[in-house]
Structure 1
Amino acid sequence: MNTPANPRRALVVIDVQNEYVTGGLRIEYPPLAESLHNIGRAIDGAHAAGVPVIVVQQCAPADAPLFATGTPMWELHEVVASRPREHYLRKTLPSAFAGTDLGAWLAARAIDTLAVAGYMTHNCDDTTVKHAFDAGLQVEFLADAAGSVPYANRAGIASAEEIHRVFAVVQQSRYAAVLSTEAWLRHLAAGTVPERDTIHASHQRALAHRGATQAA
């Protein structure tokens, strides 16, 4: 699925807070140092290209086990805190659009393409990607500037790598163009857009892959 060249982009950097680095939700995949490095590269590249950067901060009550407002773990990590931004917002729900002025801010600037980075891939990133898609925006997901943690509950157990990979595959199937930070920076320089896929084509490829594997 192709989109017009020369998009009007913004980069939203979601919840890059100490909680994910030294707190109770330490990102495991991709490696934390890698994702933080790429988040910094994405912000710097956006500024160099004249792309506005929006920083989002998750907030919870003071007695909450995670992201308690005003605590050190709630603070933005220095990779984000030390860099300039065009807009800042706080949220209490997963989507960066929910209960914030993000939609209006983007519309007022005629932004048609939203690049998403930050944490976590399967939670606030994914929810924001789908909210943006439903709002009619083109979406880009910087998969190596994001990350996941492992889960275990009554539904099963999944590693951080499994969760990150599966959510990226699903996003690419319709909702976002999933790409590396390096590839995204090349698109910024060229004024081009990456391609996202379709559910049908993604499914057909999976069937073909399964058939080829079984035949072998």
Structure 2
Amino acid sequence: MSSNPRRALVVIDVQNEYVTGELPIEFPPVETSLENIARAIDGARAAGVPVVVVQHFAPAGAPIFARGSVGAELHSVVASRERDHYVEKALASAFAGTDLAQWLAARDINTITVAGYMTHNCDASTVFEAAHAGLQVEFLHDATGSLPYANDAGFASAEEIHHVFSVVMQSNFAAVVTTDAWLAAVKAGMPLSRDNIYASNQRARAKAAA
């Protein structure tokens, strides 16, 4: 873990589709995550932390995120705020087919902070790719969110999905924290810690045995 984090806040896919469109975020409540996304952006800008805004597009006529549709537009919480870089993507990870890695490297950024949607899809894909590339990663679990799924593998609520992905990310890939904790770390210029697989498993086994 870097003792001198050079951060960028990466705000992923905060688009109308997740608020008033076909994929409404359910947990945490979207009003909560939107408020914290706004606080994170404002805090980052006040501290000189660059803000990257990511926007997902599907081809025109697609059922979700169709280019030119209202659902694909950035939500006003993000659209109304200044940014330092803009990334357009068509795949889950904000790194896939974009210039994000090069932009970060050119600025000697070693830590990315992920906010936005969805926890279990574009956020997780971005977190995993960043960690594998050697970046330190932070995940704002109250400035992100999930929705429920039902398919041939079963059913999972939005809360279950968000909780499990947050625990897994903290175990190996990212420091999972609240927006308040992140803002305090930014102000102090301090890193945030992720856990490790072994310790996470040992605690779970001890809890189950208690």
TM-score class, shorter: over 0.9
* TM, length-normalised to structure 2: 0.99
CA positional deviation for 1:89: 1.1
Distance 2:102 2:4 in 1: 21
Q: Does 1:205 align with 2:199?
A: no
Matched AA of 1:178: V
Distance 1:28 1:178 in 2: 19
Distance 1:113 1:15 in 2: 19
Q: Does 1:158 align with 2:180?
A: no
Q: For 1:184, what is the secondary structure of its paired residue?
A: helix
Q: Which runs of 5+ in 1 are unaligned?
A: none
Q: Does 1:184 align with 2:162?
A: no
Distance 2:86 2:56 in 1: 11
Structure 1 residues 89-168: aligned runs within 5 Å: 89-168=87-166
| Corresponding residue of 1:169 | 167
CA positional deviation for 1:32: 0.6
Matched AA of 2:199: A
Q: Deviations over 1:67-116 (max 9, x none)?
A: 00111110000000000000001000000000000000000000000000
CA positional deviation for 1:193: 1.1
Q: Deviations over 1:164-203 (max 9, x none)?
A: 0000000000000000000000000001011100000000
Matched AA of 1:12: V
| Corresponding residue of 1:76 | 74
Matched AA of 2:202: Q
| Corresponding residue of 1:86 | 84
| Corresponding residue of 1:41 | 39
Q: Which moved more, 1:192-201 or 1:159-168?
A: 192-201
Q: How many residues were matched structurally?
A: 210
Matched AA of 2:196: T
Q: For 2:86, what is the secondary structure of its paired residue?
A: strand
Sequence identity (%): 67
* TM, length-normalised to structure 1: 0.96
Matched AA of 2:101: G
Q: Which runs of 5+ in 2 are unaligned?
A: none
* Contact 2:2 2:136 (8 Å CA) reproduced: no
RMSD: 0.5
CA positional deviation for 1:4: 3.2
| Corresponding residue of 1:24 | 22
- Structure 1 runs of 4+ with >6 Å offset: none
Distance 1:138 1:70 in 2: 35
Structure 1 residues 54-73: aligned runs within 5 Å: 54-73=52-71
Distance 2:162 2:191 in 1: 23
Distance 2:65 2:23 in 1: 10
